[in-house]
Amino acid sequence: MSEATQFRTTTRHMLKESKEYASQTLMGGLSGFESPIGLDRRDRIKALRSGDVGFVHSWDINTSVDGPGTRMTVFMSGCPLRCQYCQNPDTWKMRDGQPVYLDAMIKKVDRYKDLFKATGGGITFSGGESMMQPAFVSRVFHAAKEMGVHTCLDTSGFLNANYTDEMIDDIDLCLLDVKSGNEETYKKVTGGTLAPTIEFGHRLRDRGKKIWVRFVLVPGLTDSEENVDEVARICKSFGDSLEHVDVLGFHQLGRPKWHELRIPYPLENQKGPSAKLRERVANQFKDYGLTVY
């Protein structure tokens, strides 16, 4: 096995001592949720398709990370992409999640609804890729809207065909990951294709939904001027639905999870962007008339 593909094991990584790592990557468990017991494989598949059950990795209460206000962020299990910089590779496989009843999730939202309304917050579905479980997520969103709770979908948009227009109607805000502006780089970064992300952004625009675009800046991978310009042009195509672009600098906070799962980490020695690079990229987006955070 070559040095480039060797598995690495981290037992005491320095990042685990930092408060930033703890707040950003150590997610809560699933205490307080009622989980189905005794369902065989056929029953689970049926319940997944109907949305009566969702496979959940974890959930957390946070502020100013996954949408406005104080939010309940639910990390769904399962993702079709394999992003080189993924912070949560432990969410890739749906079967690794815990099945949770729809009613249990709705009750949890109801428990926090007064807090959400007081802070301008709400519920965010993230992952993994929450679009892998459209029935469950959309039914929770519909119930949340009936309670007057703000809803936010954090997604790559790669599985946008899984969502009907009626499902989109219950989304208040989408955190849309535009991981690259050209097909070749997108394929390299994720293993997937770019077009579905753009199409989903246009569907959100056409139904009057708000969008915050997220773009991860990785030196030597996503930082070329041509790629950033193409991302900016995609963002412009979302029209007035786009509120701002978050330029997120690459970091190594997810590296320990790759080690623990014994998955070769492709960005093992990658550094984050310099202040100069971040400024250049931010200015490129601003040159297109976009608000950048």
Q: What is the pLDDT of residues 65-104, one digit of tens each?
A: 799 999 999 999 999 999 999 999 999 999 899 999 999 9
Cis, peptide link before residue 128, omega less than 30° from 0: yes
**pLDDT, tens digit (0-9, with 9 covering 90-100), for 179-189:** 999 999 999 99
Query: Which positions ≥6 away from 146 have C-beta within 8 Å?
Result: none
The answer to whether 10 and 259 are in contact (CB under 8 A) is: yes
**pLDDT, tens digit (0-9, with 9 covering 90-100), for 160-176:** 999 999 999 999 999 99
Tokens of 154: 């954090």
Give dist(CA 265, CA 92) in Å, integer: 14
Integer CA distances (angstroms), 106 to 59, 78, 100, 136, 160, in order: 13, 21, 11, 10, 24
The answer to whether 179 and 215 are in contact (CB under 8 A) is: yes
173-177/150-155 β-pairing: parallel
Per domain, the residue ranges of the chain are 3-287
Q: Which fold has domain 3-287?
A: TIM Barrel (3.20.20)
Give dist(CA 256, CA 150) in Å, integer: 33
Whether the pLDDT of residue 292 is over 70: the answer is yes
pLDDT at 38: 62
The answer to whether 180 and 201 are in contact (CB under 8 A) is: no
